[in-house]
Amino acid sequence: MFRSLRARLIIVYSLIIFVTILTVDILILGNYFRSSLEERTITYFTHGNMAANIVSGNPNNMLYISETLEQYTLTAQARFLLINTQSVVTADSAHRFTGQKLTNPQVRDALAGRSSWDVYNGEGRYLQLAVPVTAGDRENMQVNGAVLISADIQDLFTTYSALRWKVVLISLLAGIAGAFFSFVAAYRLSGPLNKLIAFSKKLSQGYLGHEVQIQRNDEIGQLAETINTMSTGLYHIEANRRKFIGDVSHELKTPLASIKALVEALLMGQSPPGQYREFLGDVIIEVDRLSSLISRLLTLTRLEEESPSKEYACISDIVRDTVRVMTPFATSHNVYIKNNVLTNTRVLCDKNLVKEILVNLLDNSIKYRDKEKAVNEIEIKDSIMHGTYRLEISDNGIGIAGQDLPRLFEGFFRSEPSRSKEIEGYGMGLTIVKKITDLHGWDIWVESQPGVGTVISITIPLN
């Protein structure tokens, strides 16, 4: 039972409420009792000092002193005794201890010149206090006796006891009420949590793309929203994974089918000798296609598993090296590359991955050139604005339709013109480029018009 969060919350909340109320009430009651006792003690000390002053002023008039003590008894509802320096009672408002000797601590203190008090427990609770009867000034003070007051204070203890039981009862009722409200609060807290736990278990079993219905504005609501976002994200990841597997299977199936058909034709042995060389050449082409596809798949896998090895490098140097490598391939396709990168900007990057970006982008621009144009050009330029470095690769190729732009970075996606058999490719290049820019925290976007050309921009924060 106590393993349940709801049960623990109920117990903790209830104990907190009960202990808090009980502690506060006990402290208040304790202060109330002490204040009442202190007030009663001060009152009796006042009467005692007044009686002592009367005795000091009339030391030989015992009749007057006795009558005065009797009046104080009626007024203060307490018993007054006058005691001489030998601890003998010389006057008693109750006429019971006259002539007897009293030596309790309060009498001894008073005869020593100190006022004191204490509470005693006999047939009931009573307060005893004594004040000295003195003569002379402070420097030459003489103690001539003591006034002892004995007062019944059982009413204070009776009242305190009654209040204490009332407080205990009230605290108990408050604890029960607190337990009820704690149950309600715990249910409101643990109910959605249990719902989230059940939904999370479904997610682990592949129940993706669904949402848990919890409408709250607190942290639990934020957690539910986060789990819903995760569910949607995992659903898209799973859908993309299945699509990716389907696309890979499709792309592998085509060259394998071609290789199988060519090999079967060779095995039949009915083709002229010159055609064998042609068939074998076609097999090599298909094997190269498979090798290229596998290489790009391995590149994507490597980017998923490894972190880029970053260091500060000059972008213009990387561009220059890449252009030098790609120029022979571009020239063989009648494409001219113009390197207009003028700044010597150094950025934190993985030089090999940046080169991979440029190679893929230049390769696309070369493959998707417009053969009907007299001059096919690719221009690479850069600029710095507002603390951001911008690298731009533009061409005057066949361009891309507007409806295809949002999907350019999807794996195996190729726009309609690029699906021509004359243009080799698997739609993986821009996927790799997007993955590399994401790993670096850079932004990339594409602008294009069919028949005009394409501009790809990469922005790199310099801070």
Q: What is the CATH number of the domain that holds 392?
A: 3.30.565.10
Domain boundary residue among 121, 143, 160?
Answer: 160
For residue 399, being part of any structural domain is answered with yes
Q: What is the mean pLDDT of the chain?
A: 82
pLDDT of amino acid 39: 92
User: Nearest Cα to 5, choosing from 226, 183, 220?
Assistant: 183
The more confident residue out of 61 and 263 is 61
Query: pLDDT at position 382, please?
Result: 92
* Tally of domains in the chain: 2
Query: What are the distances in angstroms from CA 72 to CA 175, 319, 345?
Result: 48, 112, 104
- In the chain, the percentage of residues whose pLDDT exceeds 90 is 25
The answer to whether position 16 is within a domain reads yes
**pTM for the whole structure:** 0.48
What are the Cα distances from residue 112, in Å, to 26, 102, 138, 191, 330? 38, 14, 14, 73, 120
Question: What's the whole-number mean pLDDT along residues 80-93?
Answer: 90
Pick the last residue of a domain from 160, 189, 208: 160
Domain-embedded: residue 174: no
Give 239 or 162, the one with higher predicted confidence: 162
Looking at residue 1, its pLDDT comes to 47
DSSP state of 330: H
Does the pLDDT value for residue 403 go beyond 90? Answer: no
426 pLDDT above the threshold of 60: no
Q: Does residue 170 lie within any of the structural domains?
A: no
pLDDT in tens, 274-329: 666 776 777 777 777 677 667 766 776 777 667 788 899 999 999 999 999 999 88
Average pLDDT over residues 255-282: 70
> Mean per-residue pLDDT for 137-152?
86
Query: Residue 6 pLDDT more than 80?
Result: no
Q: Pick from 151, 149, 150, 143: which is nearest to 84 by CA? A: 143
- Domain assignment of residue 236, yes or no: no
Q: What order of strands is seen across the sheet that includes strand 125-135?
A: 89-92, 79-83, 142-152, 125-135, 116-121
| pLDDT score of 460 | 93
Burial of 383 (0-12, 13-18, 19+ CB in 10 A): middle
In a domain, 216, yes or no: no
With a cut of 90, say whether residue 337 has pLDDT above it. Answer: yes
pLDDT of the residue at 411: 62
**Domain limits at 89?**
5-160
What distance in Å separates the CA atoms of residue 415 and residue 402, rounded to the nearest whole number?
10
Amino acid (1-letter code) at residue 385: M
Average pLDDT (370-394) is 91
**Distance from C-alpha of 436 to C-alpha of 444, rounded to nearest angstrom:** 10
The answer to whether residue 286 sits within a structural domain is no
CATH code at position 81: 3.30.450.20
Domain boundary among 115, 139, 160: 160
Is 444 within the bounds of a domain?
yes
For residue 273, what pLDDT band results from cuts at 50, 70 and 90? low
Comparison of pLDDT for 453 and 190, the residue scoring more = 453
